[in-house]
Structure 1
């Protein structure tokens, strides 16, 4: 098929799809011609051209078709912007875009920290912003600064898809960007959650969680008694890395109830945690402590000078230093699974872990489902008469 016939066929196909734009050959290059918003008044439309500077050949025609389909999508979503298609204005548009998007994200940041409905402490909110929002918004800013794309559905999808499918990063990016989109009233595609993909069971490596025996054996690998104490607390109480340094340890004194209270200035605020397994309190020598003032490693915990995230990283660094074969968070996940297997209600376990029931159910869906199914099976078998 020659180029002229190909051009006619593509334009005919576009017409049959109800797209009011056409490929136009001018000399040896291709343009787009059709009804487009006026450059000065977007409320008006008139017949205009977009210079694609594509060669009049089969490949150029296919690229032109894709460009028309993208423009048609933008027009229908009310997201068409001339600055994306006028090459000679790209530089000035990029500078303007950089300022606009930076301002929009700064507005979102102010709204995030002023939201009084959040139950988190100020330190927790700072930690959440630094770890769960800032990395993804920084990537959004970096990408937008190199292009003329406005902060729109198209740009947000582009950022989301830049993270590996089924990864924890893509899931968290999806959460952060959807919060930004709500703030800016930007419409997201209906399949956003599918694109976000989530932190699936097959990716979270829960099958590689350490067994109780591995946890006990790894405890012996830590020569420093203070870091051994940190490890024991995390294993027994399922604490986040930083929570070890922001907990009331007086419950571990002789006669104490061994119910640990996590302070309000942590990521998700104050909550109480019971030991699972309870016998690990004695096994790891956590009980009958006389002096709680010198139990923990000497690291900076003043939140005016550091962050919860930085404190958490110090714990992870020590695990690697002592060549522990799993991560600190694996201890927390193992604790959670332990509570599920013994039948602790989801609402209670979630409260102890300092997160919502929905997060708990989603994260540990595999084991919760198995537990509930096992209860049903056991109940059914109990009614069978042999």
Structure 2
């Protein structure tokens, strides 16, 4: 049978060619398909501008001798439609599943994305955060009016200029396609970009950034709505908290424990990260406690402003919280900082490394694994940061050598004093004798 089917298939295609039928039959994965050049399928792109494209039509015909008879009949029928120019895409040629997908827009599927995603994922705080990441980026980088075809989705990715944005969009769209069983090959965009730059601020630059908020307020003029005249103070407070604790921006806004932060019992000056955040609850410690005082971070005025800002938001809604975190980023740009909120988190990790804090302790404080800490954060060790780390290490070495030298000198001095004492003792014995 295995040898008869290919031989018979070749004969069928010769008959179709002799009859000038513009259709051929091919075998694929145990089924027979009709191959023909047809009008562009709904949801497909006309890249060549011809209005036509070659398609393989799978009609669920098995690749056996009986199937060949059926396929030949279907080929003649399709050939007649093509010759008469009466071919139309219908359920038969699209297939039930295909036609359902073809006529759904990206926007329509986005409305159902959450329900479909959580049919195959357990709903947890972390998975909700991951879903919103996929949802927001798919929505941002695609056109909701376009049909949810593989070509439209790939074209959306190819329009993105920045490598990391393209990579992140591809990850999100891959999850979107998986939820709706959309066949798409995104392997070209799945490799993490090798080159990326971050501007990790030094401690001096962090202090300079703190000052920029008030400088902006002084220089912006008086044409400002009275209700938001002092709002810059809240965003300066947020900026400083990110620098002091290395927090993720949303960890400031998801159910913050303001009472604990201002409590006299909080002797270690920790910020409590709520359990609904990405990696669950933890108490974050500052590296430099003096920054809390210098930045006035426990001023009740700023905490009241925080409470007012989050009272207008739904803390269970990732979109609402994202609006607040985007506001933080907006203020960074507004006052002219050349680094981003997450760069302060990287700066915390690097500073901890320079100070000699064990990796596990630093990773726990930032709320991620040791693997993430070593692979992701330490890669941003700039030349200046490396110089600083090396110089500090050498300084410590110099201090140790200095102490050793001092100890050696003291030992020699002790030996000299012992000799002096022994000599005095001998002289006293000599006098008394």
Give TM-score scaled by structure 2 length: 0.55
CA displacement at 1:310 relative to structure 2? 0.8
Q: Of the two structures, which has the highest relative contact order with CA contacts closer than 8 Å and spacing of 6 or more?
A: 1
Q: Is the 8 A contact 1:209 1:334 kept in 2?
A: yes
Q: Are residue 260 (structure 1) and residue 260 (structure 2) matched? A: no
Question: What is the aligned counterpart of 2:257 among 238, 248, 264?
Answer: 248
Say whether 1:176 aligns with 2:172.
yes
Aligned equivalent of 1:214 = 205
1:45 matched residue in structure 2: 32
Q: Give the root-mean-square deviation of aligned CA atoms.
A: 5.1
The answer as to 2:125 corresponding to 1:120 is: yes
Q: Deviations over 1:232-256 (max 9, x none)?
A: 1111011223322343243454562
Q: What per-residue deviation string (whole Å, max 9, x for no partner) do you get for residues 177-203 of structure 1?
A: 3334544566765x82x6223254x32
2:61 corresponds to which residue? none
Structure number with larger C-alpha Rg:
2
SS at match of 1:279: helix
State the alpha-carbon separation in 1 of the partners of residues 350 and 279 from structure 2.
Answer: 20
Q: Which of 226, 241, 255 matches 1:233?
A: 241
Q: Which has the higher helix share?
A: 2
| TM-score normalised by L of structure 1 | 0.60
Match of 2:163 among 152, 157, 166: 166
Measured after TM superposition, the shift of residue 52 of structure 1 is 7.5
Aligned partners of 1:264 and 1:270 also within 8 Å: yes
Q: CA deviation at 1:131?
A: 4.3
Aligned to 1:338: 351
3-state SS in 2 of match to 1:176: helix
Distance 1:363 1:214, change over 3 A: same
Contact 1:340/1:367 (8 A) holds in 2? no
Equivalent pair of 2:200/2:380 in contact (CA under 8 Å): no
Instruction: Name the counterpart of 1:12.
Output: none
Structure 2 unaligned spans of 5+: 1-12, 41-47, 58-77, 215-231, 398-433
- Give the Cα separation in 1 of the matches to 2:135 and 2:204: 37
Q: Which residue of 1 aligns with 2:60?
A: none
| 1:46 positional shift | 5.8
**Within 2, Cα distance between the matches of 1:144 and 1:34?**
32
**Among 135, 138, 146, which residue is 1:136 paired with?**
138
C-alpha distance in structure 1 between counterparts of 2:134 and 2:379, whole Å = 24
| Structure 2 Cα separation of the partners of residues 290 and 138 of structure 1 | 37
Does the residue aligned with 1:220 lie in a helix, a strand or coil? Answer: helix
CA drift at 1:210: 1.6
**Stretch moving more, 178-187 or 227-236:** 178-187
1:283 matched to which residue of 2?
A: 294
Indicate how the Cα distance of structure 1 residues 275 and 352 shifts in structure 2: closer, same or farther if over 3 A, else same. Answer: same
Give yes or no for contact 1:166–1:197 (8 Å, CA) kept in 2.
Answer: no
Question: How far off is 1:259 after superposition?
Answer: 1.5
Aligned 8 A contact 2:350 2:378 in 1: no
